[in-house]
Amino acid sequence: MSPRVFVTGVGVVSSVGLGREAFFRALSSGASGISPVASFDASPLGRQNAGEVKDFDPRDHLSLGEQRRMGRCSAMALAAARMAVRDAELLPSHLVGPRTAVVLGTTMGEAQILAELEQEWILRGQKAVSRALIPRYGSTLLPIHVARALGASGMVLTLPAACAAGNYAIAFASDLIRAGRADIVVTGAAELLQELQFSGFVRLAAMAPDKCQPFDLNRQGLLLGEGAGLLILESEAHAARRGARLQAEVRSHGLSCDAYHITRPHPDAVGSTVAMRAAIERSGIAPADVDFVNAHGTGTRHNDLAEAKVVRDVFGDRRVPISSMKSMLGHCMGAASALEAIGCIFTIETGIYPPTIGYETPDPECDVEVVANVARRGKSDVVVNNSLAFGGYNAVTVFAKPGLLPPIPPPPSAEGA
């Protein structure tokens, strides 16, 4: 029997607040983290709004040495990791050693450092490229910095799975525990708001003028965001040994690839449906057991249509409540599904579905039960976290109230375990 996997701590750096309490309050009240971008001049691009994190100061969370050796993306990841460790009430002695792994998702990692290096090179030539800065670039570094700070010496791995990176990291981290290769995995994802990506989404005509309205008839696209969402995943045995508080069970997941187009989801949402069905089936439950879907919900025409189709195909006539946190946070790219996973923990703990704010006009083509504008209370035993990404990626994770469901079924292949 594979070990069961539980979430025992969460840490958040987001545009609606730092840490569990602030984040949960914001999800309850439907707060918006959207504001005009301050870190660069977005005005030539004709867009100005994003879910930029304005009140994160690395000095509040990192030692001087740490501040010097890492960029802002790693700093957000490390700050969120420390919050998650505190939330889990883990002692340093629990984390030190080879049985603790750090598996993080991101799209671009330290994109700001790369941008600085490229600017130096393009404007002032190769000899102007800063030697001190080069080693601080690389998505490899996020988990390295976190592992070093926590004393972990197991696997350190970055999964750059674009906008599904958070779910990919959680999926792989939980399988790592199930396969017996780790007791604790510090996982989740971090992403920076950065000019190149901002320009890219504008040029793809995917960015809304000022608000993100997932599933709304008049939705005009996504807004970008940034942040870090980190979770402590722990094997049942390890959590029991130290008497940890179990926040949610990570049931299982489904990963698939459309094999269709590099940016657009498949119009029939085949791959996404396969991933969601697999996630539910491998969790040992039926679609009828799912109480709430934390949607990818980017607010682009293509995404929301595809996602609504998945929900209808998987859940049939039952109108399962669905909501997109991107209406509040913007699309935090790699970090999005990690923050949304923490949103799932919020729902499981509080029985509250976070709202899709800015929802005005239902779209008959997105005929799903949107939690519109105001948070709603409801059954919250099993929650599904959906995500899609560039590359045709689909990743779905399933969380459940601890102690409620029997152990997940073993892998279908007899030889698998």
Partner 1 sequence: MTPRAVTGVGVASALGVGREAFFASYPGGGPAGREDRRVETFDASPYPNTRLAEVPAFDATKHLGDKGLRSLDRLAKLLVVASRLALHDAGLKRDGAWTPTTRPWPERAGIVVSNAYGSLEAITELDRVAVLEDARYINPSRFPLTVSNSAAGYVSIWEDLRAANVSVSDGNCGALDAVACADVLLDQARADALLVGGAEAMSEALFLAFHRLGAMGSSGDADGPFLGEGAAILTLERTSAATARGADILAEVVGYGTSFAAPEREGALVHATPVALEQAIALALGDAGIGAKDVDVVVSGVSGQRVFDEAELLAIERTLGGEVAVFAPKRVLGETLGAGGAMGMVAAIAHLQARPQAAGAPVARTATAPQPSSAWVRGALRSATRVAVVTSVGYYGNASALVMRGASR
Give the residue numbers marked as catalytic.
163, 296, 331
Segments in 151-215 forming alpha helices (H): 165-178, 195-203
Q: Which residues within the stretch 266-305 sit at the binding site for partner 1 (CB under 8 A)?
A: 271, 274
| 68 near partner 1 (CB under 8 A) | yes
DSSP string, 66-126: HHHH--HHHHHHHHHHHHHHHHTT--HHHHSBTTEEEEEE-SSSSHHHHHHHHHHHHHH-G
| 124 near partner 1 (CB under 8 A) | no
Q: Which residues within the stretch 312-371 sit at the binding site for partner 1 (CB under 8 A)?
A: none
State the DSSP code for 134. Answer: G
Cα–Cα dist 208/205, whole Å: 8
Q: Which of 330, 358, 392, 402 binds partner 1 (CB under 8 A)?
A: 392
Cα–Cα dist 327/47, whole Å: 17
Q: Which of 154, 221, 299, 321 binds partner 1 (CB under 8 A)?
A: 154
Residue 68, both tokens = 């010097």
Which residues are CB-neighbours of 402 under 8 A, at least 6 positions away?
6, 246, 247, 248, 249
* 117 or 244: CB nearest partner 1: 117
| 310 near partner 1 (CB under 8 A) | no
| 263 near partner 1 (CB under 8 A) | yes
| 240 near partner 1 (CB under 8 A) | no
> Cβ(400)–Cβ(382) under 8 Å?
yes
| 389 near partner 1 (CB under 8 A) | yes
Residue (of 204, 95, 210, 91) closest to 146 by Cα position: 95
| 409 near partner 1 (CB under 8 A) | no
216-218-221 Cα angle (round to 5):
85
Q: Which residues within the stretch 36-55 sit at the binding site for partner 1 (CB under 8 A)?
A: 44-45
**Phi, psi angle pair for 238, to nearest 5°:** -65, -40
Q: Which of 86, 245, 261, 379 binds partner 1 (CB under 8 A)?
A: 261
* 7 or 206: CB nearest partner 1: 206
296-302-306 Cα angle (round to 5):
60
Cα–Cα dist 84/140, whole Å: 21
Q: How far is the CB of 52 from partner 1 (least distance, A)?
A: 17
Cα–Cα dist 299/330, whole Å: 9
Mark 185-224 with x for binding to partner 1 (rule: CB under 8 A) and - for no binding. Answer: ----------xxx-xxxxxxx-------------------
How many chain residues touch partner 1 (CB under 8 A)? 83
| 407 near partner 1 (CB under 8 A) | no
Cα–Cα dist 238/83, whole Å: 20
Cα–Cα distances in Å, from 86 out to 20, 170, 188, 228?
A: 11, 19, 16, 16
Q: How far is the CB of 58 from partner 1 (least distance, A)?
A: 16
* 227 or 355: CB nearest partner 1: 227
| 22 near partner 1 (CB under 8 A) | no
| 126 near partner 1 (CB under 8 A) | yes
Cα–Cα dist 416/313, whole Å: 29
Q: Which of 301, 313, 390, 405 binds partner 1 (CB under 8 A)?
A: 390
Q: How far is the CB of 413 from partner 1 (least distance, A)?
A: 4
| 134 near partner 1 (CB under 8 A) | yes
Beta-bridge partner residues of 273: none
Binding region for partner 1 (CB under 8 A) out of 52-60, 62-70, 76-84, 227-235:
62-70
Q: Which of 36, 54, 57, 119 binds partner 1 (CB under 8 A)?
A: 119
Binding region for partner 1 (CB under 8 A) out of 20-28, 114-122, 184-192, 377-385:
114-122
Q: Which residues within the stretch 162-181 sit at the binding site for partner 1 (CB under 8 A)?
A: 162, 168, 172, 175-176, 178-179, 181
| 159 near partner 1 (CB under 8 A) | yes
Residue (of 244, 233, 320) closest to 276 by Cα position: 320
Beta-bridge partner residues of 190: 228
Q: How far is the CB of 180 from partner 1 (least distance, A)?
A: 9
| 260 near partner 1 (CB under 8 A) | yes
Q: Which of 5, 113, 114, 325 binds partner 1 (CB under 8 A)?
A: 114
Q: How far is the CB of 355 from partner 1 (least distance, A)?
A: 30
Q: Regarding beta strands 393-400 and 248-257, do their DSSP bridges make them parallel or antiparallel, or are they unpaired?
A: antiparallel
Binding region for partner 1 (CB under 8 A) out of 21-29, 31-39, 258-266, 289-297:
258-266
**Phi, psi angle pair for 57, to nearest 5°:** -120, 115
